[in-house]
Amino acid sequence: MKKTLALSFLLLLCFPLMARKVVYKMSQFGIRPNNSNNTAALTKFLQNHPPQLGNKDEIILRFDKGTYNFRLEEAPEIECYISNHDQQPLRKAVFYLNHYENLTIDGGGAHFLFQGALLPVVLNYCGNVTLKNFSIDFIDPQIEQVEIVKSDTTGIRFKLSPSPHKDKEYQWFFTEQGYFETQGENWRSHFAWGIGFDKETRHILYNTGDLGINLLNYRQEGETFYAPNWKDLRLKTGNIVAMRNFYRPCPAIFLNESKNTKLQNVTVNYAWGMGLIAQRCTDITLNSFNVYPSQGRYFSTQADATHFSQCRGKIISCKGTYEGMMDDAINVHGVYLRILQRKDDHTAICAFMHSQAYGFNWGNTGDSIRFINSSTLDSVQTNVITSIRPQDAVTLQGMKSFLISFRDPIPSDADCIENLEWTPSIVFSGNTIRNNRARGTLFSSPKYTLCENNLFDHTSGSAILLSGDANGWYESGPVNNVIIRRNRFINALTSRYQFTNAIISIYPEIPKLKNQRNYYHNRISIEKNLFDTFGTPLVYAKSVRHLIFRNNQVKKNSEFSPFLNNTQSIITEKVEKTTKD
């Protein structure tokens, strides 16, 4: 008997108790469909159920199917700095998950409807979190959708498109200066730009890009508005215009310093910034993650559908639909810091340079880094961080520069640094990208990158961009092994945007290309794709060591007239080796 008890005790020590599955039905905590506002009840629940650090139990928050209203009132205010968004010290957040582990939010088909400029979902320093089976939308987007009634040399007449939500709670009005603006509870929007859509096909209007809008001295005439100073003969009766600005305060889903995050069957219909952004996260899987407009709208997010800044591990994005975004479907990149001041041979002050990217961690002691020259993007030296701390602030929050020491002396001809530790492998497969502004996909990682079996349907700019820039956006870095295969491209690049020289544009920003000693990108393989297109070029490549283009099919169509003055299929500039049919 004693031997049995002793053995049982040893087994308990060696094999901890199996983790339990703990399910919370949110309706039991007052969080129910059709409530006028669920924010207070949700905030109370999260406050009363803090994360149990070290607890291996699987926690499930289960929602009933239906529409849940979340308003600004009683949402916690948090301090966070979000890469590639307009920075502000404080933001309202509804689902604020801080240091949670082994958590699943199962919406059960719920539709989460938000009001005001806020953060719907935040995962901050979380691990093993799954988000699934819900959608996110807003009552009051800052984008105003209108339909053109008449367009001629005297100006444009338009009418407001009806809202998909009956309880739309914002208004339009005249400013003292005579401009048309809209206003919600904690925001106000002035329009100077727009994106035009064909009403029937939902394609962005051919060769229009960003439309300039001048609503000065407009006047209301019954149910329509007349703007005498807005003149654009490219716009026709029935066209849809999403009037907008470039302000992007909040994404729909913000992942920060989190590990092993999964999103499954989640849809974002609108966001004030990006649909999802992950910042310094490890291992992210998107399975049937979608960004597309709610019924009646032609626009979805104000910026990218998905964005990954300085992540590592694996990024897997499969079986998603991305439509109507005001920017790219996916952008994966690191961040270059600029060397502002050398303190000694081993120490320098290095800073974030873009106004939308600062205030968060960039590196850790022991990280491998690369020094580069920004004018040529040449790699100058690899090195290792021996110490790093904020230079212009006490904590990371809001800081813009670091004091960094390196193992080896700093090379004299380097002026920027790239973190080699925070770079992911990427799989982007089985997705549909259509009817969006700017580009389709952007990949900037030295790790293995696969872009396969995707449909690029009328992306307004280039379908795929491989870039790299240490002068403007400061988004790193060079690619070493990119495979682009078995994709279908239907009439991509119908308008021009930044870095969009071809359907597939390999365009690192290199101010002094003639002085470059090496090549920025390495091996890029483009094989077994179908280009169903009205024009050329198919590929533009700059500063590539080895470009492979073979076994691709090209099908010409006449949907649009070619507008790029180049009939070559492939254009290269400083490419060492090109392998093609």
pLDDT of amino acid 183: 82
Distance CA 481, CA 561 (A): 34
Q: Which pLDDT score is estimated for 510?
A: 98
Q: Give the range among 62-71, 177-186, 206-215, 462-471 with minimum mean pLDDT.
A: 177-186
Mean pLDDT of 358-376: 97
CA torsion through residues 517, 521, 523, 526, sign: negative
Residue 86 to residue 395: CA distance in whole angstroms:
20
In tens, the pLDDT along 285-331 reads 999 999 999 999 999 999 999 999 999 999 999 999 999 999 999 99
Q: How confident is the model at residue 565 (pLDDT cuts 50, 70, 90)?
A: confident
Architecture of the CATH domain 21-140+249-323: 3 Solenoid (2.160)
Q: What is the average pLDDT value for the chain, to the nearest integer?
A: 94
- Comparing 158-172, 182-196, 408-422, which segment has the lowest mean pLDDT? 158-172
Look at residue 529 and tell me whether its pLDDT is greater than 50.
yes
Place of tokens 């925001």: 187
Which among 263, 264, 273 is positioned nearest to 331, based on CA atoms? 273
Quote the pLDDT of residue 184: 80
Q: What is the C-alpha to C-alpha distance for residues 408 and 414, in angstroms, rounded to an integer?
A: 13
- Does the structure show a pLDDT above 80 at 4? no
pLDDT at 15 (0 to 100): 45
**Residue 438: what pLDDT?**
95
CA end-to-end span of the chain: 78
Mean pLDDT of 21-37: 97
* Section 393-398 average pLDDT: 90
pLDDT (0 to 100) of residue 9: 45
Looking at residue 27, the DSSP 8-state letter turns out to be: G
pLDDT at residue 137, as a whole number:
98
Q: Can you name the residues that pair with 229 across neighbouring β-strands?
A: none
Residue 11 pLDDT grade (very low, low, confident, very high; cuts 50, 70, 90): very low
Task: With cut-offs at 50, 70 and 90, classify the pLDDT of residue 8.
Answer: very low
pLDDT at 173 exceeding the cut of 90: no
- Tell whether the model's pLDDT for residue 267 goes beyond 80: yes
pTM of the model: 0.95
pLDDT band at 172 (very low <50, low <70, confident <90, very high): confident
